[in-house]
Chains A and B, each alone.
Chain A
Amino acid sequence: MTEPAFPPHIAAALDRLTVPPLPKGFGDRLAARLAAGDLPAESNSIAPPLAPTRRRFGNTGWRRSGRIVTVVAAFGIATATAAASGFFGAPVYVPVVSDALAKAKLVELPQKDFPKPKAKPRCRQQGNGSS
């Protein structure tokens, strides 16, 4: 046995909200609208209503930070692409971007004129007691 939805005194009050019978001539007015082609406009009433829209661009901290990171990253990629394609003068080798541009045959792969780092001489550990 489930619990009643409302206590008896509330239910008694709610039951006072009775509905009168359909207005007289309802069927005739319906038929008249049908004959006149006065049909309701297409709407989403057949489908369930959409939930109230959420504020996608709210000012919560995470969303604001996400936007800042996205803008900075987009700016960085745009600048790197411009530098790699020679927009600022001679093309500069930018590791991933230059390779992609060269592969797409948009620019020549620039000389990697920066010196290669010399390998550090490896220190041999001596005198560890073996000899």
Chain B
Amino acid sequence: MATTAQAIASESDDALMARVAARDADALRLLADRHADIPWRIAYRMLNDAAEAEDVAQDALLRLWQYAERWQAGGPGVAAWLTRVSTNACLDRIRRRRFVGDDAVPERADESPLADEKIEQDDVRGAVATCIEALPDRQRAAIVLTYYEERQNRMAADILAMQIKAFESLLFRARASLRDCVEGKGVGA
């Protein structure tokens, strides 16, 4: 039994997707163990909300379950697929938030005693998070994908369904806005 589990664990993503298409929940669990941190990271940075980020990550993996029968082996891979799906899910949520007027996510007050250094780190972190949250949705996605996820411009442009030149222009504006905002808050000085 343990050898079977080890054999499954060593299978490629495409082989696991074939198992998922055959409705093997353990295979999805393994894919989640391997890749769930990708949609989690993207959603956490784009939405600045842990609960929503977990929802996005779970939805992305469940969409993988739904999409498994159409999966084509040898393509860009599960990681790229999850990056695309989670980025677009975040953009959907940001637009929905704006539509319902819930654009400001309340920050939770942390009442635990903290050392000065930790407080300062949290201040910087909070300022950066606020600056990223203040960017327009596509600019936010561009920064998260290229800076934090280290995706190439071409791939990020593809995820956002943009021409590469248009994406580079968007990224240029996003970087300038983010730099101005961070410097304006006095944390990058």
CB atoms of B62 and A44 under 8 A apart:
no
| B66 at interface by CB-CB < 8 Å | yes
| B72 at interface by CB-CB < 8 Å | no
> In the complex, what's the smallest C-beta–C-beta distance from B85 to chain A, in angstroms?
5
CB atoms of A20 and B50 under 8 A apart:
yes
> In the complex, what's the smallest C-beta–C-beta distance from A15 to chain B, in angstroms?
9
Contacts of B61 in A (CB 8 A): 30
CB atoms of A6 and B128 under 8 A apart:
no
Contacts of B88 in A (CB 8 A): 44-49
Contacts of B54 in A (CB 8 A): 22-23, 26, 29
CB atoms of A49 and B161 under 8 A apart:
yes
CB atoms of B29 and A30 under 8 A apart:
yes
| A33 at interface by CB-CB < 8 Å | yes
Question: Per DSSP, are chain A's interface residues mostly helix, strand or loop, or mixed?
Answer: loop
Among B62, B121, B183, point to the contact of A34 (Cβ < 8 A): B62
Among A13, A18, A30, A43, point to the contact of B188 (Cβ < 8 A): A13
Question: Per DSSP, are chain B's interface residues mostly helix, strand or loop, or mixed?
Answer: helix
Tell me the A17-72 residues at the B interface (CB within 8 Å).
Answer: 17-23, 26-27, 29-31, 33-35, 38-40, 43-49, 51
CB atoms of B128 and A16 under 8 A apart:
yes
CB atoms of A13 and B187 under 8 A apart:
yes
Contact size range, A: 35 or more
Smallest CB gap from A38: residue in B: B62
| A90 at interface by CB-CB < 8 Å | no
| B97 at interface by CB-CB < 8 Å | no
**Complex Cα–Cα for A122 and B168 (A):** 71
A14-B182, A45-B92, A46-B63 known; A5-B124 Cβ under 8 A: no
CB atoms of A45 and B187 under 8 A apart:
no
CB atoms of A19 and B40 under 8 A apart:
yes
Provide 13 A-B residue pairs closer than 8 Å at the C-beta atoms, listed in order of the A residue: A6-B178, A10-B178, A13-B187, A20-B44, A22-B36, A30-B28, A30-B32, A30-B36, A34-B28, A39-B66, A43-B89, A45-B92, A46-B84
Beyond A12-B188, A40-B66, 11 extra complex contacts between A and B, CB < 8 Å: A6-B175, A6-B179, A7-B179, A14-B182, A21-B37, A26-B58, A30-B58, A34-B62, A34-B65, A45-B63, A49-B88
7 nearest interchain CB pairs? Answer: A48-B161, A40-B59, A45-B89, A13-B188, A10-B188, A17-B128, A16-B125
Query: Which B residues have a C-beta under 8 Å from some C-beta of A?
Result: 25, 28-29, 32-33, 36-37, 40-41, 44-45, 50, 54, 57-63, 65-67, 84-85, 88-89, 91-92, 95, 121, 124-125, 127-129, 132, 146-148, 159-161, 175, 178-179, 182-183, 187-189
